[in-house]
Structure 1
Amino acid sequence: MSLLPLDDLPAPLPATVRSPSAASAARLARRVLSLLPLLLIGAWAAADWRAVHDGTLRLASADPWWLLAAVFFTGLGWVAAAVVRQGAVPERLPPGPLLASQFAAGAANHVLPASIGAHAVTLRFLQRRGIPLARATASLALYSLVKPVAKTLVLLVFLLAFPETLRLGRLVPDERVLLLAGGGVAIVTATAAVLLTVVRRLRRPVLDGLRTALTDARILHTRPSRVLALWGGSAAVPLLQASVIASVGESLGLQLSWAQVIFAFLAASTAVGAVPAPGGIGPVDAALVFALVAYGTPMSLASGTVIGYRVLTVWLPLLPGTLVLAALVHRKVL
């Protein structure tokens, strides 16, 4: 059998010609990912339709100008979230796509618990901007660390600035609640320490990620603009969320000062914010209703305020946020 000369051998086919099925599979996967958020939102809406219906009816009789103020504070919340994300990475991110990604992340955050959806969207966005996976993950870790610290600092400022107005005695938890909270933190810390000690495969990536996070944090804190964006934005986010609640309360006739409403939200979200519910819905709502009732608000008005807050911050932006998420996936921004 004679061998063909090297020059007569056929040239290798391009990747797109060699594997048309792979390209078709990629297009199909992108379409599925574009439609998946809409399917999840539809299922969730069907399961929780009564809350949306009741909240909408309550808002129909509310003061429209205060509701417009609540919508304004909601929009500022997305801007603040984008500012915080920028402050967590040294690279400059494009403002428009960054804001769009955080609007889409808000929709994803209300589907999956413990902010997994929002973190996944942000992680994908950072990788698409050329940031390596390790550094993108480190920025998420820095964001997750700074956010509760900044909220706690804001809470302490309110305690020092309004000690008499807040009437703290009604909101201070008893010893059993404090013991349960401390025990939960101790169990989580001990479990993480045991896992890192026993599982070697887990220890190395965690330590590498920690080194990367510390390096990036040190670089970021040498740049005043990043420090202001990271810490200032993290402090502004809970204040803007609380301002939405206060505006909704004003529209419904809530007889509490803004300081009391903001402190009630800060206390409620800090106390049960670690419970892994989608977007904090459920535990935070119950704690917030309890805090408002503790200030003397009727149960119907407190629950109506919280439901109205959820309608404005979750249900109204949910469909457009999901459409933006699908569009970003389709355009390969995510």
Structure 2
Amino acid sequence: MTIPPPPSEPPTAGMPASDLDSVVVGEWWRKAGPRIPAPGTPVYTPVPLGTGHDQAVQAASTAAAAEAFWAPAGKLFAEQAKTIASSVGETVTQLLTETSAQRDARQQVEYEQLLKQQRARMDAALGAVGETTNEQAERHRIEDILTPGRPAQRDDLVGLVDLLADRLTETPEDRAARRATERELEKQRARAREDQLRAAAGETPAQRDLRHRQQQLADRREAKARARRERLRAARSKAGSSDRAKRVRRWCVLTAISAVGGYSIGLVPLLATGGPAVGALIAAIGWGFDLHIRDKGRLRVSEVRGFGPLLILIVLRLPVASGLAVATGLAPLLPALHLFN
């Protein structure tokens, strides 16, 4: 393709002078007049890319530019693909060849090594600022409680498979034992965190020992209450229809005795003046108090044994029985018994 030479005359050449004066021109070169380059002066004319031989040599092709641009990205993708393939291959190999005991042992060793390295770095850092031996021993005790004794559940495919296998093969007894262990471990960790906070607030070792003693006594009482609940639950599971009928009769007899006691002290006539609504309200309030006394309802009325506990139960259930008598309309029957004449 040949480039035409520049024009030798401006575009206004040959026009009348009157027409030149009336033309409104916006370009600067027309306002300043025609500028004809001197002979031999190079003229730079815009040429589209790739239309000349020199430009075609200098400009890179689109394919070459794209290849140069994507070369680093392709290298990075290749490295990531190798890493992912290696990780997947290792996981599949572990699932197919490594047993559960071998995997747990390997993870335990790696975990203990990691903890040992972290503790060594912490000991060196705190020892440099003046930590004593007793303070270090107390810190190690709290760390042992707060730190899990076994590696945490893995978040990869192996961990998911192990978790599903454990849950599918877990019996109700195993589930109860696991939850009890988790609750005990969480309690120990919470108390260890409390020890850290109180020690930072200025608690002395004597105060800490006293608080630990109180916590041990509370734990013993809680263990006794839990054992009693388990015994009652086991007894209920073995009970038949005749036992349930006996429990209903016992509940009715004890409630009637409480209602008679409420009538004897004037509670039933007092509630009767307010009507059934007042009786139902007092019965609901008394029932809530009764549940709280009976370990939030875990101990049934028919399961109370002994003269002393029965007497306390009858006295505490006076509002419940009196409110029920008024709410159900049985209050007029109490004077008919002629127990107080």
- Check whether TM > 0.5: no
Higher helix share: 1
TM-score (structure 2 length as normaliser): 0.18
Between structure 1 and structure 2, the one with the greater Rg is: 2
TM-score (structure 1 length as normaliser): 0.18
Higher RCO (C-alpha under 8 Å, 6+ residues apart): 1
